[in-house]
């Protein structure tokens, strides 16, 4: 739309009068469209849209409702990586995105958040290398990388403990049970028979 396509009324009453003016009956649809003007204010500018323009913008607005959740996700991803939405999209279209914030600065800020959530972590140098690599390489916040690491470690320790428990029950379990219940009478009878002969 160009500025030449829009007419500007001098007063608000003239704007609405122009929009509500009766449309002369004619077989020519072009003349009816010329008479219809919808006053719209956008970005502090007044526009008078024809029926076709108003229809097109209404359809675009309805499409925006379906795109809004994706735009919100895109904003979240861009913010997590130190970008604005436009910068992220441009960078993705051009190739590898270059963050507007250096990796060191991002990690320093995120380490403050990590310390606030996990007081046991006191120094950046104490973080496992895999946590820092995951944060840098995968572009995820340091706190999430650390929590994922903690979860993996806890799962690994629990699995090792479960394996040790099962192994202990199956191999040493039978001997342990025999000692608790005393000697087996069948085995004692067999040994007595062997010794007595």
**pLDDT 10s per residue in the chain (197 long)?**
444 444 444 444 444 444 444 444 545 555 555 678 989 898 899 999 899 998 998 888 888 888 888 888 888 777 777 778 888 888 778 765 555 667 888 888 888 899 999 888 888 888 999 998 888 888 889 999 999 999 999 999 999 999 888 887 766 555 555 556 677 788 888 888 788 75
What does the pLDDT read at residue 7? 43
How many Cβ atoms sit within 10 Å of the Cβ of residue 190? 11
Residue owning tokens 């895999």:
130
Q: Extract the tokens encoding 62.
A: 């309805």
pLDDT at 11: 45
Task: Give the H/E segment covering residue 48.
Answer: strand 45-49
pLDDT score at 144 = 92
Rg (Cα) of the chain, in Å, rounded?
38
Predicted model pTM = 0.38
Contact 19, 39 (CB under 8 A): yes
Using alpha carbons, list the distances in angstroms from residue 23 to 14, 113, 130: 16, 63, 72
Angle (nearest 5°) at CA 175 between 172 and 179: 135
pLDDT score for 148:
93
Structure confidence at residue 70 (pLDDT): 86
Rounded Cα–Cα distance for residues 182 and 197 (Å): 25
Q: Please give the pLDDT value at position 86.
A: 86
pLDDT at site 73: 82
- Give residue 154's pLDDT: 93
CA 14 – CA 48 distance, rounded (Å): 12
Instruction: Return d(Cα 144, Cα 135) in angstroms, integer.
Output: 8
- Residue 100 is predicted with a pLDDT of 61
* Token reading at 77: 């991803």
Residue (of 32, 40, 36) closest to 57 by Cα position: 40
Return the number of other C-beta atoms located less than 10 Å from residue 18's C-beta.
16
The candidate with the shortest Cα–Cα distance to 80, out of 25, 121, 139, is: 139
């Amino acid at each position: 739309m160009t500025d030449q396509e829009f007419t500007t009324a001098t007063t608000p009453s003239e704007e609405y009068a122009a929009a509500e003016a009766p449309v002369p009956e004619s077989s020519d649809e072009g003349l009816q469209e010329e008479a219809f003007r919808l006053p719209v204010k956008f970005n502090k500018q007044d526009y008078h849209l024809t029926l076709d323009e108003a229809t097109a913008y209404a359809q675009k607005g309805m499409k925006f409702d379906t795109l809004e959740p994706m735009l919100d996700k895109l904003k979240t991803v861009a913010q997590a990586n130190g970008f604005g939405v436009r910068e992220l999209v441009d960078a993705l279209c051009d190739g590898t995105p270059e963050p507007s914030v250096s990796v060191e600065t991002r990690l320093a800020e995120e380490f403050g958040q990590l310390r606030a959530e996990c007081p046991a972590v006191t120094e950046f140098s104490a973080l496992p290398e895999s946590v820092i690599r995951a944060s840098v390489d995968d572009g995820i916040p340091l706190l999430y990388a650390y929590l994922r690491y903690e979860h993996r470690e806890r799962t690994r320790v629990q699995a090792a403990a479960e394996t040790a428990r099962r192994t202990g029950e199956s191999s040493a379990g039978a001997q342990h049970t025999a000692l608790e219940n005393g000697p087996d009478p069948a085995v004692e009878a067999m040994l007595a028979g062997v010794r007595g002969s």
